[in-house]
C-alpha cells in the first residue's frame, strides 16, 4: 500500500466531497486536527473515522496539538482544560519526583481523552529550553528553564501518552528556545555557538532520542547552516538530528504554511524531504495549498517508510489500566483545583 509522505489537515468539522476525493487519491500517511475541526465528541469521532476511511488504514495516524495552556485544541465544554508545561515545572519546588508524577498523570489523562476520540498522536512534549531573550512563542509552553528538568518532565509526558495508547511527538528539534522570532510569522536566526547549543538547546532531544516521532524547528542555526532552517537543512538533519542527537524515529517537518519558510509549497515540500524529513506537515486545510504540497511530495518509501511503520508499532495494544475519575481528582489536588474543569 502506497502513501504520500505527508500529514494534512482538513477545512472543517466534516469532510467535503472534494476533500474525500482528494485524500482517497493522494493517500496521505496521516492527518492533523485543529480547533476548526472540533465541535463535539461524537462529531470528532466521526471525522476521525472518515479521515481513516479515505486511506483504508484502521490505525492511520491522526494528530493533534493538545499541550495544555494556550495550545489546546480540545477544550470546554466537552473537554477539560490542562495547564501549560511551565505550571508543572513550578509544582513542588523541593519534590522533583512529584513533579514528574503529575506531568505523567496529566499526559495520561490527555491520552485518555484522545483515545476516546480515536486520535492516536499528540504533538507533545515541547522540549524547547527557553532563553530569557527569546520570543514568547515558546514561553510557558516549556516545562522549565534548564535542559535537565525539561528532559525529565518531557520524558514523563511522553511516558504518560504512550501508556494511554497515544504516540508523542518531541518538538521542535533541535530546539526553538533561543529563537528571537515566531516562526509562524518570520524566520528566526540563532547565532549561538555550537558548544552552547549542544549544552542547552540540544540536550533534551538527545535524552529523548528514543521517541517514535519528532517535529523540526523552522529555525536557522548559524553554527550549523547559515543559509537554511533546520527543516530544509541537510547539515542540521543529517549532521545534528540524526547524527549528534541520535534520533532515528520518524521526522516530520513543522507546518509548511508557516512564514519562516520561503518558496512555493511544492518547493517547501521538496526541500524538506530532500534535507531528510520523512514526512511533511501541512495544517490549514487549504485545498490549493495541499495540492501544491503534494506536487512536491514523494511516496513514503525506504527508511522513511520503515520509521513510519516502527512509530505506529509503538502504539500499545491495550492501554495501561486507569481509573480516570481517581486520576482527575489526584491531578486537581496537585494544582489546588486551579485547572479543574
CATH assignment of the domain containing 187: 3.20.20.300
SS3 percent helix, strand, coil of the chain, rounded to 5, is 40, 15, 45
In-domain check, residue 276: no
Q: Is residue 39 part of a domain?
A: no
At 69, is the secondary structure helix, strand, or coil?
coil
Q: Of these residues, 42, 95, 184, 264, which one is catalytic?
A: 184
Confidence of residue 135 (pLDDT cuts 50, 70, 90): confident
pLDDT digits (tens, 9 = 90+) for 160-196: 999 999 999 999 999 999 988 778 888 999 999 999 9
Q: Is 41 part of any domain?
A: no
Is 323 contained in some domain?
yes
254 in active site: yes
DSSP characters over 269-326: HHHHHHHT-SEEEE-S--HHHHHHHHHT--B--HHHHHHHHHHHHTS-SSPPP--HHH
Q: Is 151 helix (H, G, I), strand (E, B) or coil?
A: helix
Pairwise pLDDT comparison (340 vs 187), residue with the higher score: 187
Q: Single out the catalytic residue among 131, 254, 255, 278.
A: 254
Whole-angstrom distance, CA of residue 69 vs CA of residue 335: 14
Instruction: Considering only residues 179 and 20, tell me which one the structure prediction assigns the higher pLDDT.
Output: 20
8 A C-beta contact, residue 2 and residue 299: yes
CB-CB contact of 105 with 331 (8 Å): yes
Whether 16 is covered by a domain: the verdict is no
Comparing C-alpha atoms, which of 232, 120, 107 is closest to residue 159?
107
User: With pLDDT > 90 as the criterion, what percentage of the chain qualifies?
Assistant: 91
Question: What gap in Å lies between CA 36 and CA 255, rounded to an integer?
Answer: 16
pLDDT of residue 341: 62
306-322: average pLDDT = 95
Which set of grid coordinates corresponds to residue 267? 518547493
pLDDT in tens, 191-247: 999 999 999 999 999 999 999 999 999 999 999 999 999 999 999 999 999 999 999
- Tell me what pLDDT residue 339 has: 80
**pLDDT tens figures, 299-312:** 999 999 999 999 99
pLDDT of 340 over the 80 cut: no
Distance of CA 283 to the CA centre of its chain: 12
- For residue 93, pLDDT over 90 is answered with no
Q: Where in the sequence is the domain holding 310, given as residue range(s)?
A: 56-256+304-334
pLDDT at 114: 98
The reply to whether 138 falls in a domain is yes
Q: How many domains does the chain have?
A: 1
Residue 23 lies in a domain: no
Q: What is the pLDDT of residues 238-295, one digit of tens each?
A: 999 999 999 999 999 999 999 889 999 999 999 999 999 999 999 999 999 999 999 9
Is position 275 within any domain? no
Amino acid at each position: 500500500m502506497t502513501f504520500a509522505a505527508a500529514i494534512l489537515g482538513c477545512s472543517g468539522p466534516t469532510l467535503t466531497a472534494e476533500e474525500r476525493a482528494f485524500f482517497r487519491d493522494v493517500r496521505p500517511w496521516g492527518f492533523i486536527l485543529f480547533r476548526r475541526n472540533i465541535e463535539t465528541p461524537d462529531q470528532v469521532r466521526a471525522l476521525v473515522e472518515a479521515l481513516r476511511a479515505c486511506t483504508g488504514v484502521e490505525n492511520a495516524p491522526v494528530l493533534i496539538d493538545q499541550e495544555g495552556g494556550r495550545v489546546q485544541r480540545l477544550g470546554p465544554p466537552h473537554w477539560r482544560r490542562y495547564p501549560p508545561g511551565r505550571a508543572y515545572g513550578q509544582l513542588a519546588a523541593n519534590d522533583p519526583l512529584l513533579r514528574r508524577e503529575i506531568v505523567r498523570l496529566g499526559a495520561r489523562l490527555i491520552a485518555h481523552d484522545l483515545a476516546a476520540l480515536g486520535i492516536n498522536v499528540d504533538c507533545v512534549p515541547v522540549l524547547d529550553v527557553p532563553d530569557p531573550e527569546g520570543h514568547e512563542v515558546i514561553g510557558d509552553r516549556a516545562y522549565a528553564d534548564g535542559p535537565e528538568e525539561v528532559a525529565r518532565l518531557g520524558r514523563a509526558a511522553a511516558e504518560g501518552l504512550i501508556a494511554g495508547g497515544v504516540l508523542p511527538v518531541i518538538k521542535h528539534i533541535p530546539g526553538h528556545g533561543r529563537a528571537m522570532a515566531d516562526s509562524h510569522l518570520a524566520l528566526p536566526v540563532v547565532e549561538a555557538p555550537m558548544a552552547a547549543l549542544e549544552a542547552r538547546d540540544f540536550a533534551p532531544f538527545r535524552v529523548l532520542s528514543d521517541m517514535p516521532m519528532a517535529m523540526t524547528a523552522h529555525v536557522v542555526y548559524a553554527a550549523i547552516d547559515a543559509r537554511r532552517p533546520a527543516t530544509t537543512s541537510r547539515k542540521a538533519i543529517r549532521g545534528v538530528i540524526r547524527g549528534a542527537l541520535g534520533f532515528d524515529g520518524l521526522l516530520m517537518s513543522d507546518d509548511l504554511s508557516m512564514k519562516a519558510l520561503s518558496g512555493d509549497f511544492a518547493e517547501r515540500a521538496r526541500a524538506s524531504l530532500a534535507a531528510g524529513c520523512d514526512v511533511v506537515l501541512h495544517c490549514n486545510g487549504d485545498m490549493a495549498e495541499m495540492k501544491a504540497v503534494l506536487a512536491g511530495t514523494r511516496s513514503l518509501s525506504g527508511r522513511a517508510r520503515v520509521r513510519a511503520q516502527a512509530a505506529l508499532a509503538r502504539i500499545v495494544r491495550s492501554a495501561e489500566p486507569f481509573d480516570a475519575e481517581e486520576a482527575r481528582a489526584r491531578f486537581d489536588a496537585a494544582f489546588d483545583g486551579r485547572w479543574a474543569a
